[in-house]
């Protein structure tokens, strides 16, 4: 009798243990989808974090749209990208809509590594940065096997996706700590939900951002600093130019403006989010199968995009 009860107990504990991980992952996804609906009250981000926001990679795509959304909310901006002309153009575009803010520009190429942060630091020394958006990112030109990706491209991806977020955070976080307020928004990617063959290194750099964000949050929450980890799925930007399928805006693949509006609305409400309700639903379904199945599906998806690209280029 006792043996039989112990055996059943053991089986029950085993089943619970097996279910614990998927259930907690799925509950997080449901929470993420529901929170913008349940908590619709907008947060006064300027009051909460400070008057200046720095956005890296802000002349195109999500970064530019995010900067515009912050400008709408009255933030002064520091825009950082590598092309001075495009920075000026972005500045005038934003000022025509939000004329009552200040905008400073810094041209910097994050693929150059550490020397860039040394150049940027003096520009930010006297600016009380309230929000840092670590948005800049680099993706493969198209889905490739690691042995096909040019070495320079791999190194740039590591510098831009990992180095920039790390060193930009290092520059602004002591000031935030002193002021006892601020937010670091790390733009990661849904590609970190599982290993992603044919975008192997890109996805791996985004896993770094998750670990970095989660540990940083524990270090700095007590100093009044919010660390948000954003994991967008596909957004219609030039980053995905390798496939025509991702260059059409839909509910599932929003344009950058729609994405950024939704993402900014989650800041201060949720620490880790896709940033956009329809991506939250996609992430919910993505997380149901075990990792090995998702990895296989990811490979199949990227084989399709690879074919799209090679066909586009007549290769
Ligand atoms: N689009 C998506 O589907 C998607 C999905 C998940 C995550 N994300 C992430 O979201 C972020 C933004 O992506 P996006 O699609 O908006 O990219 P995007 O449209 O390609 O824009 C990238 C921005 O970064 C700047 N930039 C690129 N390389 C740079 C460098 N070496 N130094 C300084 N600035 C540089 C570009 O400016 P210039 O070219 O003018 O220099 C541009 O302003 C990235 O971190 C990306 O990984 C995107």
Q: What's the 119 CA to ligand 1 centre distance in angstroms?
A: 20
Over 90: is that where the pLDDT of 42 sits?
no
Residue closest via CA to ligand 1's atom 22 equals 57
**% of the chain surpassing 70 pLDDT:** 100
- Whether residue 182 has its Cβ less than 6 Å from ligand 1: no
Residue 92 has a CB neighbour count (10 Å cut-off) of 9
Question: Is 234 touching ligand 1 by the criterion CB < 6 Å?
Answer: yes
Residue with the larger pLDDT of the pair 62 and 29: 62
- What pLDDT band is residue 179 in, cutting at 50, 70 and 90? very high
Query: Is residue 140 pLDDT above 90, yes or no?
Result: yes
Q: Average pLDDT, stretch 117-145?
A: 97
Select from 56, 83, 106, 136 the residue to mutate for testing ligand 1; criterion: most ligand atoms less than 8 Å from CB: 136
pLDDT-based confidence at 25, cuts 50/70/90? confident
Percentage of the chain beyond pLDDT 90 is: 86
Q: What is the pLDDT of residues 191-234, one digit of tens each?
A: 999 999 999 999 999 999 999 999 999 999 999 999 999 999 99
| pLDDT higher than threshold 90 for residue 18 | no
Q: Is the CB of 59 under 6 A from ligand 1?
A: yes
Cα 30 to Cα 109: distance, rounded to the nearest angstrom:
38
Gap from CA of 238 to ligand 1 centroid (Å)? 8
Residue 60 Cβ contacting ligand 1 at under 6 Å: yes
Residue 148, both tokens: 């096909």
Q: What is the pLDDT of residue 268?
A: 95
- 276 part of the active site: no
C-beta of 111 in contact with ligand 1 (< 6 A)? yes
Checking if the pLDDT of 297 tops 90, the result is yes
Paired tokens of 227: 């660390």
Q: What is the reported pTM?
A: 0.94
Place 29 in a pLDDT band, splitting at 50, 70 and 90.
confident
pLDDT over 90 at 32, yes or no: no
Report whether residue 232 contacts ligand 1, using a CB cutoff of 6 Å. Answer: yes
- Per-residue H/E/C for 181-250: CEEEEEECCHHHHCCCCCCHHHHHHHHHHHHHHHHHHHHHHHHCEEEEEECCCCCECHHHCCCHHHCCCC
pLDDT surpassing 80 at residue 13: yes
How much is the pLDDT for 275?
A: 96
Q: Which of 66, 202, 220, 259 is catalytic?
A: 202
Question: Residue 300, class by beta-carbon neighbours within 10 Å (0-12 exposed, 13-18 middle, 19+ buried)?
Answer: exposed
Atom of ligand 1 nearest to the CA of 239: 20
Mean pLDDT, the chain, rounded, equals 95
Q: State mean pLDDT over 263-277.
A: 95
* pLDDT tens-digit series, residues 88-115: 999 999 999 999 999 999 999 999 999 9
Distance 61 CA to ligand 1 centre (A): 6
C-alpha span between 69 and 47 (Å, rounded): 16
In a mutational test of the pocket of ligand 1, which residue from 60, 228, 280 has the highest number of ligand atoms less than 8 Å from its CB? Answer: 60
User: Of ligand 1's atoms, which has the minimum distance to the CA of residue 57?
Assistant: 24
pLDDT at 37 over 80: no
């Amino acid at each position: 009798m006792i043996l039989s009860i112990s055996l059943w107990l053991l089986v029950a504990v085993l089943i619970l243990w097996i279910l614990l991980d998927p259930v907690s992952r799925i509950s997080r996804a449901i929470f993420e989808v529901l929170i913008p609906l349940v908590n619709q009250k907008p947060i006064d981000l300027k009051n909460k974090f400070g008057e200046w926001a720095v956005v890296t990679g802000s002349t195109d795509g999500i970064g530019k749209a995010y900067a515009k959304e912050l400008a709408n909310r009255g933030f002064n901006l520091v825009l950082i990208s590598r092309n001075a002309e495009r920075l000026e153009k972005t500045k005038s575009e934003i000022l025509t809509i939000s004329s009552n803010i200040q905008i400073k520009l810094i041209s910097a190429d994050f693929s150059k590594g550490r020397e860039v942060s040394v150049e940027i630091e003096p520009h930010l020394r006297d600016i009380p940065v309230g929000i840092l958006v670590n948005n800049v990112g680099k993706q493969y030109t198209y889905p490739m096997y690691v042995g096909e990706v040019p070495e320079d491209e791999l190194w740039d991806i590591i510098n831009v996706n990992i180095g920039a977020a790390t060193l930009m955070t290092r520059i602004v976080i002591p000031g935030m700590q002193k002021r006892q307020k601020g937010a670091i928004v790390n733009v990661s990617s849904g590609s970190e939900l599982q290993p992603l063959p044919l975008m192997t290194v890109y996805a791996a750099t985004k896993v770094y951002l998750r670990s970095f964000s989660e540990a940083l949050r524990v270090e700095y929450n007590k100093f009044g600093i919010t660390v948000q980890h954003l994991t967008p799925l596909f957004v219609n930007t030039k980053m995905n130019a390798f496939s025509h399928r991702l260059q059409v805006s839909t509910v599932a693949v929003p344009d950058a403006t729609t994405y950024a509006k939704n993402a900014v609305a989650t800041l201060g409400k949720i620490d880790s989010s896709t940033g956009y309700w329809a991506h939250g639903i996609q992430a919910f379904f993505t997380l149901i199968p075990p990792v090995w199945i998702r990895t296989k599906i990811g490979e199949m998806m990227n084989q399709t995009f690879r074919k799209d690209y090679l066909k586009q280029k007549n290769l």
